[in-house]
Amino acid sequence: MEIVHVYTKKRNEFGRQCNFSDRPAELHVDILPDPSLASNFIERDPCDIPIQCTQEMSEHEVNTERFESDTRGINHVEGGWPKDVNPQEMEQTIRFRKKVEKDEHYFSTIMQLGSNMEHCIKQNNAINIYQEYFEEEEVVEESEEQPSAKTINVFRDPNEIKRTATCLSWHPDGSCKLAVAYSSLGFQNISPDMSYDSYIWDIENPNKPEMTLKPVSLLVCLEYNPKDSHILVGGSYNGQIAYWDTRKGSQPVEMSTIEHSHRDPVYKVIWLQSKTGTDTFSASTDGQVLWWDIRKMSEPTERLVLDPNKKGNLDNALGAISLEFETTMPTKFMVGTEQGLVVSCNRKAKTPAEKIVCTYSGHHGPIYALQRNPFFPKNFLTVADWTARIWSEDIKESSIMWTKYHMAYLSDGCWSPVRPSVFFTVKMDGTLDVWDFLFKQNDPTLSLKVCDEALYSLRVQDNGRFLACGSQLGTATLLEISPGLCTLQRNEKALATAMFERETKREKILEARHREMRLKERSRSEQSKDEDTKEGDGEESVEELATRTEAEFYEIVEAELKKRAKEQEKKWVFINLFINSAKKETSLFQDPVFQR
């Protein structure tokens, strides 16, 4: 429906100016409020809305495009020859040379220069002008500097999907290269797009890895051969072992056959000391330790099942997570297990039962790192659950020294190769701890937060100065430690020896006492057993045990609650006191005498 208003106007009135007239205001409509209508509406809660009248600004981040530079060399060819002489032609060059030599000017110049030169040569032969005086007096100051560590370089995983850097290995000569193994240890965490590559980095160039290693499955661990720096051996997630030759390219030279490999990811692989330099052994959570000769990867040369009952039963076997091998003791080696036991084994034993010599228990969780002290091979370090412990080979019941329980899991650790009392640990909250137990026993000497994500691996370079740690997102960080932490202090060896001996003795005494007490208990319980009637021993004790533990548990909880309540009370009392004293003070302040 169209609303139309029609009006007429005379033609001679078009374009005429408008005549305005003034008239007073007229009220057309007056609508009064009707309270009855208000009941149809609900009043809204008054709300405060802040309004600010300021300049509007926006934040914008800009980053320049990444500039990749590459260094190349240029080969210079001989030049400078005059146009008519072809430098390739021997004859022409010889002829040119002879021509020059016949020049008069040449003659005089050479005579003059020659005499100058002779003078200097004779000078050189007479005395060494750059001789260093006072060379023997090396100023040895007690470095008062704070121990510190500095990040030098960060190597990031170039792939889109980040994998954890699970193992690092330094190049054996000169340590200018670092091999990093990347894998994903989460259960079934591997996505189909995840790249399987592991890289070798040149520590001077963090932008691009120097070499890529392409295994068949993710590599969990990787080691350089200490005898031949071109060979690396890696253990992969699917249980196979492969070895690479860096001269031959990125593909593995040979891989072990699947039937004879491990059934679980290979967590650690170490090179052995042998004449050929081609022996390695590997450990995995399927409970086996296998020995390989890399020239013949189709089958392991030897096999050991970590059965604590020494029966070689694979079902009972303990899963191995770390291995330890010291080249000075080639027949012994140690295995750290998932169950928290360290198993010490003898390689040269005749029967498999004798292979497992003894076990050390004391940890609550899998032992992620296991290493002997390079200066004191009888003592070794284990890193597991929330503590790091130092053990002596002779004491099997407990460790001789241990750190306190930390807030985060410890994931890896190693000794410093230059100082017997220094070791490093990394935690799941991304911190690196440097411990010097001759300096401070309760806390780390230096605690450094390397990154926000968890750190999984750690490796110190052979000179003790640099260390690399790998994180969950595949970042390997290279740190340099202050010289105080990597130079041998004056009587460090003697002090460390004394400390180890002291702690070992203490543990021995404790062990002896425990044994005595146990013997006494056993003899006592045997006597009481004879007196009691034999009932369903097994179930009874389990039920009793259950009720007893329940009662104990509740006792502990109640005690804790009471303690908390007491503390809370104390706190309130303290706060009240504080408020009262504050009141008193303010009242003093208002005293006119006090005012200045």
Partner 1 sequence: MAEVEETLKRIQTHKGVIGTIVVNAEGIPIRTTLDNSTTVQYAGLLHQLTMKARSTVRDLDPQNDLTFLRIRPKKHEIMVAPDKEYLLIVIQNPSE
- The residue among 108 and 576 lying less far from partner 1, judged by its C-beta, is 108
Among 122, 348, 350, 490, which residue sits at the site for partner 1 (rule: CB under 8 A)?
122
- 584 lies in the binding site for partner 1 (CB under 8 A): no
- 107 lies in the binding site for partner 1 (CB under 8 A): yes
- 276 lies in the binding site for partner 1 (CB under 8 A): no
70-89 residues in contact with partner 1 (CB under 8 A) are 76, 78-82
Among 7, 130, 405, 589, which residue sits at the site for partner 1 (rule: CB under 8 A)?
130
- The residue among 93 and 316 lying less far from partner 1, judged by its C-beta, is 93
Query: In this structure, what token pair is assigned to residue 434?
Result: 């440097």
Among 86, 88, 109, 143, which residue sits at the site for partner 1 (rule: CB under 8 A)?
109
- Cα–Cα distance measured from residue 178 to residue 172, given in angstroms and rounded to the nearest whole number: 10
List the one residue out of 332, 312, 311, 333 whose CA is nearest residue 322. 333
- CB atoms < 10 A from the CB of 468, how many? 25
Among 38, 86, 113, 521, which residue sits at the site for partner 1 (rule: CB under 8 A)?
113
Sort residue 568 into left (φ over 0), alpha (ψ -120 to 50) or beta.
alpha
Q: Report the nearest approach of partner 1 to the CB of residue 174 (Å).
A: 18
Q: By 3-state DSSP, what share of the chain in percent is helix, strand and coil, each rounded to 5?
A: 25, 25, 50
- The residue among 7 and 130 lying less far from partner 1, judged by its C-beta, is 130
Stretch that binds partner 1, among 96-104, 333-341, 374-382, 582-590 (CB under 8 A): 96-104
- 102 lies in the binding site for partner 1 (CB under 8 A): yes
What number of CA atoms fall less than 13 Å from residue 232's CA on the CB side?
Answer: 35
Site string for partner 1, 480-519 (x = CB under 8 A): ----------------------------------------
- Cα–Cα distance measured from residue 156 to residue 66, given in angstroms and rounded to the nearest whole number: 15
Across 38-61, b (16+ Cβ under 10 Å) vs e yields: eeeeeeeeeeeeeeeeeeeeeeee
- The residue among 113 and 357 lying less far from partner 1, judged by its C-beta, is 113
- Cα–Cα distance measured from residue 300 to residue 287, given in angstroms and rounded to the nearest whole number: 15
- Cα–Cα distance measured from residue 285 to residue 266, given in angstroms and rounded to the nearest whole number: 7
Give the rounded distance of the alpha carbon of 428 from its chain centre: 9
Q: Report the nearest approach of partner 1 to the CB of residue 95 (Å).
A: 12
Q: Report the nearest approach of partner 1 to the CB of residue 84 (Å).
A: 13
What's the burial of 457, exposed, middle or buried (CB within 10 Å: 0-12/13-18/19+)?
Answer: buried
Site string for partner 1, 385-404 (x = CB under 8 A): --------------------
Which amino acid is residue 449, in one-letter code? Answer: K
**DSSP characters for 93-111?**
HHHHHHHHHT-HHHHHHHH
> Is 389 in contact with 382 (CB distance < 8 Å)?
yes
Q: Report the nearest approach of partner 1 to the CB of residue 120 (Å).
A: 5
Among 38, 86, 88, 116, which residue sits at the site for partner 1 (rule: CB under 8 A)?
116
- The residue among 131 and 533 lying less far from partner 1, judged by its C-beta, is 131
Q: Report the nearest approach of partner 1 to the CB of residue 483 (Å).
A: 24
- Cα–Cα distance measured from residue 176 to residue 364, given in angstroms and rounded to the nearest whole number: 37
Q: Report the nearest approach of partner 1 to the CB of residue 104 (Å).
A: 10
- The residue among 119 and 263 lying less far from partner 1, judged by its C-beta, is 119
- Cα–Cα distance measured from residue 147 to residue 448, given in angstroms and rounded to the nearest whole number: 11
Among 38, 86, 95, 106, which residue sits at the site for partner 1 (rule: CB under 8 A)?
106
Q: Report the nearest approach of partner 1 to the CB of residue 127 (Å).
A: 9
Across 253-270, b (16+ Cβ under 10 Å) vs e yields: eebbeeebbbebbbbbbb
Q: Report the nearest approach of partner 1 to the CB of residue 201 (Å).
A: 29
Among 38, 86, 89, 121, which residue sits at the site for partner 1 (rule: CB under 8 A)?
121
Q: Report the nearest approach of partner 1 to the CB of residue 108 (Å).
A: 10
- Cα–Cα distance measured from residue 374 to residue 496, given in angstroms and rounded to the nearest whole number: 12
Q: How many residues bind partner 1 (CB under 8 A)?
A: 31
Q: Report the nearest approach of partner 1 to the CB of residue 130 (Å).
A: 7
> Is 417 in contact with 487 (CB distance < 8 Å)?
no
Q: Report the nearest approach of partner 1 to the CB of residue 114 (Å).
A: 4
Stretch that binds partner 1, among 121-129, 145-153, 180-188, 440-448 (CB under 8 A): 121-129
Binding site for partner 1 (CB under 8 A): 76, 78-82, 96-97, 100-102, 105-107, 109-114, 116-118, 120-122, 124-125, 128, 130-131
